[in-house]
Structure 1
Amino acid sequence: MSTADRKGGKLPERLARIAGALPEPGALPDAASSPYETVQPVQEGFIERDGVKVWYATWGESGPWIAFAPPFQIVHSQMLKGTVPYLSRHFRVITIDGRGNGRSDRPVGQEAYSFDHFYGDFVAVLDAVGAERVALVGISAAAMTVLRLAAEQPQRVTHLVTAGGFAESLLQDPRLVQRVAMESELLRGDWPAYVDWFMATIFSEAHSTKPYEDGAHYAWATRTDWLAWCRNAWLDNDVRDLARRVACPMLVIHGDEDGRVPYAKGREIHALVAGSEFLTIAGGGHVTAARDPVVFNRTLREFMGGRRRERTWTRAMKRPRRALFISSPIGLGHVQRDLAIARELRKLQPDLSIDWFTTDPAASYLEREGEHLHPITRRLANESRHFERVAGEHDLSAFFALRTMDEVMSHNFMTFVDLVEAEHYDIVIGDEAWEVDYHYHENPELKRQPYVFLTDFVGCLPMEEGNEREALLCADRNADDIEHVARYPYLRDAAIFVGNREDVTEQPFGPGMPAIRDWTDRNFCYCGYCLPFDPRALADIERLRAQHGYRSDEKIAIAAVGGTSTGRHLLQRIAQAFPRMKRELPELRLILVTGPRLSTDEFEAQPGLELRSMCTTFSSTWLAATWLWCRAGCRPRWNWWPRAAPS
């Protein structure tokens, strides 16, 4: 890192505590991986202009074209992770990394950075992908790019959207000149402090630690000198005369608490473009697409796609009774209890039709049980795969796995909204449906039917003693959840804790916050355990042993990984240790249950070792065994039990 990049030594406290470990500035993103976790590009490549390569990608295989012009290069196209995956289901989407960041080149010298270069790069990409008719989106400084193109090539542009944008950046206002001088001094003198200040400015909304963290990492892919050249290029431009020539349908989006680009700048664009629409994000900051992706996505789809041309409305008394059951696919414990609940609901309401909303491994289990998965679930991103991706060899931080699942949650919630708007359901039941619960509280107007929320844990607590970053971020998430429920207590028509009161810790959510058990007492009801079997039927151990073909004196151990593959390494360690176990106890028989996400082929055959991918009678099987090692789907540790009859 250069002196300018880290002048002053240590990182600002906020940056260090929220963003975590950062690579060397200017490091290129992994070229082999997609910028988005939930979708892969249909096409990607580079255009080259004057020796500078600019990366682009297209997403989605059908529908009208939408192109996002690259904004100020302190970020790159991954900033759109809450938007592009969903929009690509309905449109063909074009994203670009502006020169100076992301996968694009970082040329040296101010002459390689100008507004004309940025504009030329954008047009060259549209030409390269064959987007002859295209809707344009310009966020922040990129508003000038799309306004210019809509004026200069009106036959090409179908729709125009700006968000947090401005039509001129002239250095005439003394206040702007003063701010630019301050920014220049900070950028050149203390790069980490500049990143901290910038991200805190654009993500000014409460509980924005995750977009702040993401933004800091995007910024770290560039460097002081490159960014200074980019910033100079965006300054002192004026496209207001061009804006007056825009004739296509236009929408202006702007937060009225935008700390980066004043709200008045958005109002100015609205006044310049005759007939344009204006959406105020009340209480919103600078980057709606990142901080409030649900309203951003829905607004763009409605504005650019219009209403459906064909639909059906069913009279109220002709509508069948239907429930939508959202089951967490992280492991198999949730879906087993959910199926037990669903079967009891059918006893109470025999004509109730239940659609399931989940992914593998839960989806495969439900299909084997004869249940109906709604076809739209094929669009869902897989939460289990995300947990497996972020798991380490011997541990998994469930909190950080949830925190980094924001793209998955946004994508799946948008899919959920598409479904409940298109089809009628009498009730939605969500077993740890965190995506629905969070985004319902962020967008309460979208709730359409009774909603029941189930969970077997409340609150996040740091796992690593002395880890101040984890403690801070856990407390921030908990505070967000507490404020959500306090402000919109009616969103959950029922909140059920699956377990008993004693299962809830008495620790506080964080400094100055209530005790978790006391808060759960006030906001949940306890239902006890929802078991997919009758414990009384499993009380006779000798009968179970005979049923499974085990002798009464046989020594049997079972090791099960659960519904995800996060325990792969530990399961392999158990298999590797089996020969030593056999030396100590020659008659021992070991059964490895690899679960639906691991192949039995990963394990070498050994005398006395039995490999099973699934065990549909797992409850009775482990009770018939002598010992059990079990790791649930997302638990960070293994549990060990000697045989004992259920109580």
Structure 2
Amino acid sequence: MDSQPEVRFARTADGVTIGYQVFGQGPPLVWMPSLSNIVAQWRIPALRAAYLGLSQRMTVVLYDSRGTGTSDRRIDLDDLGVDAHLRDLHAVLDTAGLTQASLLGFYHSVTTAIAFAARAPERVERLVLFGGTPRLREAMLPAQTQALLSLIDQDWGLFADAAATAWLGWDSAASGRWTAEAFRTATTAPVAKAWFEAAGRIDVTGEVAAVRAPALILHRQGEQRIPVEASRRLAQALPDARLVELPGSTPTLFIENLVADFVTGGRVGRPVSGAGSLTPREHEVLRRLAAGDSNTEIARRLGIAVHTVERHLSAIYRKLGARGRSDAVRLTLG
């Protein structure tokens, strides 16, 4: 479980050391960080599966932003805006020898991905954006998010546990435990506080129209932390973007094939080979879907996690070319 790529190091223009990993083969995809610890994240079963799945078709680059994980912890806490995050990304790309790559922006790093694509268009092949907005304070407004952020000063360990469950929605003991550990070891409470305060001031709205790279915007249909209207506005504002609303209610993203199809060939949601390509487990999930079960009910009946159900549903929809639950049932079961 602990086997993972070696950690390499890049040096930013302002002298900060950034830890990063490179693995897989194919077109490069940089999975950009939020609060991260790339070493600890490999111990999270779903994340590890996602990394390995993507690496079968792409060269994947992971890195820790300044102040987190394997990167320098001693940093200027007054310099955590988008320009600082862009320096981290530049350093990783240059040190890894990547003149061009696709970027996966996840929560906080959505703004960094947009800004980099606007300012260095020749270096960005495609964008995949999930769980963020050009104006980061919009992503931090929900009451649940504010309550969670208030824990940073009070109890860092409790914040990590709550972030893994209430915020990121991990429902299995193993994933929840390792996700909490990844949060706990990602940084310190003072850095996290400064990090989120700076995030609330980041706004790249004025740069969205300058992005030329094709973009795939992903949104969980049941997501309450980022309203779907925010994802729709982002898709409309970007010059070349496609919005895909995914099944499920948890705010995590593990849909390796959809991302890989887009990054390697620009394809989105095309059917592969119909119902005949479904795995036995996917057929079981589809049968429970046809019976009207919710994701939680399917998980309980099959003895799997809700996250796993959502991954199966994403694969089912992709393989069938279905737009959603009822469409998948109609296409296969009549």
Bin of the TM-score, shorter chain as denominator length? 0.7 to 0.9
Report whether the alignment pairs 1:301 with 2:301.
Answer: no
1:46-95 CA deviation, whole Å, 9 max, x = no partner? 1123342110111124x211111112348875364222212222111111
Question: Which of 162, 165, 169 is the matching residue for 2:129?
Answer: 162
Report whether the alignment pairs 1:479 with 2:300.
Answer: yes
What 5-or-longer segments of structure 1 have no aligned partner? 1-34, 290-295, 309-420, 429-435, 446-475, 492-647
Instruction: Find the residue that maps to 1:110 and give its secondary structure.
Output: coil
TM-score normalised according to structure 1 size:
0.40
Report the Cα distance in structure 1 between the residues aligned to 2:21 and 2:74, rounded to whole angstroms. Answer: 21
Residue identity opposite 1:69 in structure 2: M
Instruction: Find the residue that maps to 2:66 and give its secondary structure.
Output: coil
Distance 1:209 1:437, change over 3 A: farther
Distance 1:181 1:297, change over 3 A: closer
Report the Cα distance in structure 2 between the residues aligned to 1:165 and 1:181, rounded to whole angstroms. Answer: 16
- Specify the alignment match of 2:324 in structure 1: none
Question: Which of 142, 155, 166 is the matching residue for 1:190?
Answer: 155
What 5-or-longer segments of structure 2 have no aligned partner? 288-296, 313-334
Report the number of matched residues. Answer: 287
Report whether the alignment pairs 1:70 with 2:33.
Answer: yes
- Specify the alignment match of 1:103 in structure 2: 70
1:497-536 CA deviation, whole Å, 9 max, x = no partner? xxxxxxxxxxxxxxxxxxxxxxxxxxxxxxxxxxxxxxxx
- Specify the alignment match of 1:239 in structure 2: 204
Q: How does 1:392-431 map to 2 (within 5 A)?
A: none
- Specify the alignment match of 1:217 in structure 2: 181
Report the Cα distance in structure 2 between the residues aligned to 1:262 and 1:74, rounded to whole angstroms. Answer: 27
Distance 1:441 1:199, change over 3 A: farther
Distance 1:152 1:112, change over 3 A: closer
Moved runs in structure 1, 4+ residues, more than 6 A? 177-180
Distance 1:132 1:211, change over 3 A: same
TM-score normalised according to structure 2 size:
0.73
Structure 1 residue 248, shift from structure 2 partner: 1.6
1:362-416 CA deviation, whole Å, 9 max, x = no partner? xxxxxxxxxxxxxxxxxxxxxxxxxxxxxxxxxxxxxxxxxxxxxxxxxxxxxxx
1:552-582 CA deviation, whole Å, 9 max, x = no partner? xxxxxxxxxxxxxxxxxxxxxxxxxxxxxxx
- Specify the alignment match of 2:293 in structure 1: none
1:261-300 CA deviation, whole Å, 9 max, x = no partner? 33332222111113311111132321112xxxxxx11101
Residue identity opposite 2:133 in structure 1: F
Report the Cα distance in structure 2 between the residues aligned to 1:40 and 1:144, rounded to whole angstroms. Answer: 27
The CA RMSD measured in Å over matched residues stands at 3.6
Matched-pair contact (CA < 8 Å) for 1:204–1:285? yes
- Specify the alignment match of 1:608 in structure 2: none
Report the Cα distance in structure 1 between the residues aligned to 2:162 and 2:258, rounded to whole angstroms. Answer: 29
1:184-207 CA deviation, whole Å, 9 max, x = no partner? 4321012233223222233337x4
Distance 1:83 1:203, change over 3 A: same
Residue identity opposite 2:176 in structure 1: Y
> Which structure is higher in helix share?
2
Residue identity opposite 1:102 in structure 2: G
Report the Cα distance in structure 1 between the residues aligned to 2:66 and 2:200, rounded to whole angstroms. Answer: 16
- Specify the alignment match of 2:245 in structure 1: 280
- Specify the alignment match of 1:229 in structure 2: 194
Report the Cα distance in structure 2 between the residues aligned to 1:77 and 1:288, rounded to whole angstroms. Answer: 14
Query: Whose RCO is larger (CA < 8 A, sep 6+)?
Result: 2
Residue identity opposite 2:196 in structure 1: R
- Specify the alignment match of 2:331 in structure 1: none
Structure 1 residue 440, shift from structure 2 partner: 5.9
Instruction: Compare CA radii of gyration and give the structure with the larger one.
Output: 1
- Specify the alignment match of 1:55 in structure 2: 19
